[in-house]
Amino acid sequence: MENTPKKEVVFSAIQPSGTITLGNYLGAVRNWVSLQDEYNCIYALADLHTITVRQNPAQFRKNIIDAYASIIACGVDVEKSVFFIQSHVHTHAELAWILNCYTQFGELSRMTQFKDKSAKHADNINAGLFTYPVLMAGDILLYQADKVPVGADQKQHIEITCDIAKRFNGIYGDVFKIPEGFIPKNGARVMSLQNPLNKMSKSDENVNGCVHLLDPPEVIMKKFKRAVTDSEACVRYAEGKDGVNNLMTIYSAVTGKTFEQIENEFAGKGYGDFKTAVGEAVVEELRPIRERYEQLVKDKAYLEECYHKADEIALKISSRTLGKVMKKVGYVR
């Protein structure tokens, strides 16, 4: 329709660096799902980013397919959104190279994620880890994205994306849309169940700290029952009660209840009841996702059809931007 305003473009990506966790789901993927009607959503599995940390090839291949199926199972609808695999779309690596030449060593050196990851992987501080934000900038800029939903830990990467885009536009004219990062307000920041000062992470040394999307119900229940709390025995949200705060955050995210409602619900009850309730709510939230995943992962042909279709659309859109960039830089077309 002529009068319908064009929907804004949302771009986001997630790395297939292992299983999808409850933290990934409540913090990111669930928001991807909720944005699908209001925006033109383009989502990617950022598998080029993943090899900045060494991967076992067989496991990596499995992780990519599992993540792709899991995210569809969560509700990313391939009829509404473009959900593609980054390594299948060659424009990403190409634009990243060009943008590398418009990014300064100094600004990449200041990236906190680079500093953290090089401390963690001191035996493999590779150039890809260093230029990771440039690849990410390319991902976003290729699609002329208006909005980029990300976790708080990616904010600095959005800032550098804008800096690179403005610098490029300053030299060559308006080539890139300057994107806007946003931290979705209903995006819960889920912490480890064992060490609630750290983000929930699949690399948590204590397996009970992290709930995976595909964990069976009894495993989920066990992890919640062992969750770290405190000695106050009172369900309330307060400073210093990191374990309880985290459980309340999860319960609120899954049930839609406010903290006040949760405090009332568990007034006079112990942590045992509370942990059981949180565990059960999470089990019920994840049950249909796991069932859907089991179906999908059996149907490799369907998954392949989904990503081939999406890869092609992504290639078409991104090639327009890459072509423009190359022309501006002076390449012979």
The residues of the shown chain that bind ligand TRP, judged by CB under 6 A, are 11-15, 46, 49, 136, 139-140, 148, 150, 154
Residue 316, φ and ψ in degrees, nearest 5: -65, -50
CB of 293 to ligand TRP, least distance (A): 21
Plot region of 149 (φ>0 → left; ψ -120 to 50 → alpha; else → beta) = beta
Report the residue number, 71 or 136, with the smaller CB distance to ligand TRP. 136
CA 33 to chain centre: 12
Instruction: Report the sign of the C-alpha dihedral through residues 103, 313, 10, 23, in that order.
Output: negative
CA 62, 114, 164: angle at the middle one, nearest 5? 100
Which residue of the set 199, 223, 241, 275 is catalytic? Answer: 199
Report the residue number, 154 or 194, with the smaller CB distance to ligand TRP. 154
Structure tokens at 219: 């495993």
Residue 45, φ and ψ in degrees, nearest 5: -90, 115
Give yes or no: 117 in active site.
yes
Report the residue number, 186 or 261, with the smaller CB distance to ligand TRP. 186
CB of 58 to ligand TRP, least distance (A): 22
Structure tokens at 256: 């839609």
Separation CA 157–CA 108 (nearest Å): 10
CB of 290 to ligand TRP, least distance (A): 23
Separation CA 323–CA 333 (nearest Å): 8
Beta bridge partners of 147: 10, 180
Contact 319, 89 (CB under 8 A): no
How many CB atoms within 10 Å of residue 8?
15
Query: Which ranges of 25-104 does DSSP label H, i.e. alpha helix?
Result: 30-34, 47-50, 57-73, 91-100
Separation CA 310–CA 291 (nearest Å): 24
Give yes or no: 202 in active site.
yes
Separation CA 176–CA 46 (nearest Å): 21
Report the residue number, 117 or 241, with the smaller CB distance to ligand TRP. 117
Which residue of the set 80, 177, 202, 328 is catalytic? Answer: 202
CB of 15 to ligand TRP, least distance (A): 5
CB of 267 to ligand TRP, least distance (A): 38
CB of 272 to ligand TRP, least distance (A): 35
Separation CA 65–CA 53 (nearest Å): 18
Which residue of the set 117, 147, 223, 241 is catalytic? Answer: 117
CB of 277 to ligand TRP, least distance (A): 30
Torsion of CA 83, 87, 92, 97, to 10 degrees: 160
Report the residue number, 185 or 333, with the smaller CB distance to ligand TRP. 185
CA 243 to chain centre: 23
Report the residue number, 113 or 208, with the smaller CB distance to ligand TRP. 113
Report the residue number, 115 or 327, with the smaller CB distance to ligand TRP. 115
Residues tagged active-site: 117, 199, 202
